[in-house]
């Protein structure tokens, strides 16, 4: 049994291309961590919300032997080195919600930094205390804004505001998943809660992915964009490219 503060529960490690948001298309090494504090109705990685005994590992050629969970930060950094290529943009920490394991990440991230790997955090934007602790080792932050209608009616406006204040010290953009059922008023209401603090940032509206493709008609996307536009420097509508491509 391994017992120290640097143990991480990892779902998988793999190289791919970023499929969402402002950095869509850049090559990255993905480290997908297990566990999440939310239960979004559109979640496309429900398998990563549970902790499992093995972390799956693959490289550009295919699957490699997995590693046993929990993984010590030093061991994870060494596996990451074997998958990393100099041409990659960054290591994407994704999930699940990576910040649930902030304590162990504070052991991992300096090791990645020492090995020349910039860190890109994908987060649901609610664990503001955790992101503050990790700021010294973060380079890019992709922060979700969660609409109550996809979160069982729970309003995360207060957490998002505090998270935004902490995270804006870094290269930051915001992302909000929407679909044809999303009402423009819900977007305005939530964005108003950010109190103008995102006025210099970009928001990406991301159509929820369904079996049949992105669930958002262009006419409705236009209405949602108009609702968000007063609160951000720029609003883009962008489906998940990796889903359209059929890759992870």
Of the candidate residues 13, 29, 31, 40, the single one contacting ligand SF4 (CB under 6 A): 40
Question: Do 159 and 194 meet the contact criterion of CB atoms below 8 Å apart?
Answer: no
Q: Other CB atoms closer than 10 Å to residue 221's CB: what's the count?
A: 19
Based on the shown chain and the rule CB under 6 A, indicate whether residue 108 belongs to the binding site for ligand SF4: no
Based on the shown chain and the rule CB under 6 A, indicate whether residue 6 belongs to the binding site for ligand SF4: no
Of the candidate residues 19, 95, 98, 207, the single one contacting ligand SF4 (CB under 6 A): 95
Q: How many residues bind ligand SF4 (CB under 6 A)?
A: 11
Based on the shown chain and the rule CB under 6 A, indicate whether residue 124 belongs to the binding site for ligand SF4: yes
DSSP state of 149: G
Question: Do 71 and 133 meet the contact criterion of CB atoms below 8 Å apart?
Answer: no
Residue 141 in tokens: 């932050």
* DSSP secondary structure letters along 217-244: -HHHHHHHHHHHGGGSSEEEE---HHHH
Based on the shown chain and the rule CB under 6 A, indicate whether residue 36 belongs to the binding site for ligand SF4: yes
Based on the shown chain and the rule CB under 6 A, indicate whether residue 19 belongs to the binding site for ligand SF4: no
Based on the shown chain and the rule CB under 6 A, indicate whether residue 38 belongs to the binding site for ligand SF4: yes
CA-based end-to-end distance of the chain: 32
CB of 125 to ligand SF4, least distance (A): 9
Cα angle: 48, vertex 54, 58; to 5 degrees? 80
CB of 48 to ligand SF4, least distance (A): 6
Of the candidate residues 24, 26, 43, 241, the single one contacting ligand SF4 (CB under 6 A): 43
CA 13, CA 57: separation in Å to the nearest integer?
A: 5
Of the candidate residues 55, 97, 141, 190, the single one contacting ligand SF4 (CB under 6 A): 97
x/- binding map, residues 45-64, to ligand SF4, per CB under 6 A? Answer: x---x---------------
Question: Of 185, 98, 179, 194, whose CA–CA distance to 145 is shortest?
Answer: 194
Taking CB under 6 A as the binding criterion, the range among 37-45, 194-202, 203-211, 236-244 that sits at the site for ligand SF4 is: 37-45
Residues near ligand SF4 (CB under 6 A): 36, 38-40, 43, 45, 49, 95-97, 124
């Amino acid at each position: 049994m391994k017992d120290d503060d640097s143990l991480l529960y990892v779902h998988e490690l793999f190289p791919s291309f970023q499929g969402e948001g402002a950095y869509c298309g850049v090559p990255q090494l993905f480290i997908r961590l297990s566990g999440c504090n939310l239960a979004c109705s559109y979640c496309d990685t429900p398998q990563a919300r549970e902790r499992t005994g093995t972390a799956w590992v693959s490289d550009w050629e295919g699957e490699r032997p997995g590693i046993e969970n929990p993984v010590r930060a030093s061991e994870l950094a060494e596996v990451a080195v074997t998958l990393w290529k100099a041409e990659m943009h960054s290591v994407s920490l994704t999930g699940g919600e990576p910040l649930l394991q902030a304590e162990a990440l504070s052991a991992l991230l300096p090791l990645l930094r020492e090995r020349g790997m910039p860190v890109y955090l994908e987060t649901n934007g609610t664990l503001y205390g955790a992101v503050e602790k990790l700021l010294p080792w973060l380079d890019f932050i992709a922060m979700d804004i969660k609409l109550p209608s996809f979160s069982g009616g729970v309003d995360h406006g207060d957490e998002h505001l505090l998270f935004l204040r902490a995270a804006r010290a870094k290269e930051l953009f915001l992302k909000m998943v929407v679909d044809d059922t999303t009402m423009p008023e819900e977007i305005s209401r939530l964005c108003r809660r950010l109190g103008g603090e995102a006025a210099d940032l970009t928001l990406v509206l991301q159509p929820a992915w369904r079996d049949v493709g992105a669930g958002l008609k262009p006419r409705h996307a236009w209405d949602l964009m108009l609702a968000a536009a007063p609160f951000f420097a720029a609003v883009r509508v962008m489906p998940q490219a990796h889903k359209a491509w059929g890759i992870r």
